[in-house]
Amino acid sequence: MDSKIALITGGSRGLGNNAALALAKKGNDIILTYNSKQADADKTVKEIEQLGHKAIALQLDVGNTKSFIEFAEQVKKTLKDKWSTDHFDFLVNNAGIGIHATFAETTEDEFD
């Protein structure tokens, strides 16, 4: 396998999209995540494939930490099925959530 694989959270829009496309232009395959805008993610995957690289979009809500174990299993399966490997080479932690409240108004659960 010549290409390295980058996992980019929040890779379907904004900075994550730019990172995904830039890394693909440098010769990398991409696993990207999206939360709710699958059409944007699919468009990014198509653009990466048009550059001659493999890509896939997986749904992930980074605000729901209970989903992380299932997501990790999905990544392992994807790596095995699409790339015949058990690892990726780069991680770009781009996705995030925001709360529009003052610190005093933010609950402990929201902070967590």
Summarize the confidence of residues 31-48 as an average pLDDT.
Answer: 96
Average pLDDT for the chain: 91
Q: Encode pLDDT of 75-105 as tens digits.
A: 999 999 999 999 999 999 987 666 778 888 8
Residue 108's pLDDT band (cuts 50, 70, 90): confident
Residue 62's pLDDT band (cuts 50, 70, 90): confident
Please enumerate in sequence order all residues whose Cβ is within 8 A of that of 8, keeping only pairs 6 or more positions apart, or say none: 16, 19, 20, 23, 30, 31, 32, 33, 92, 94
**Main-chain phi, psi angles of 54, to 5 degrees:** -80, 145
**Domain-by-domain residue ranges, the chain?**
5-111
- Which CATH code of 2.40.50.140, 1.20.1070.10, 3.40.50.720, 3.40.50.300 fits the domain covering 5-111? 3.40.50.720
Summarize the confidence of residues 24-28 as an average pLDDT.
Answer: 96
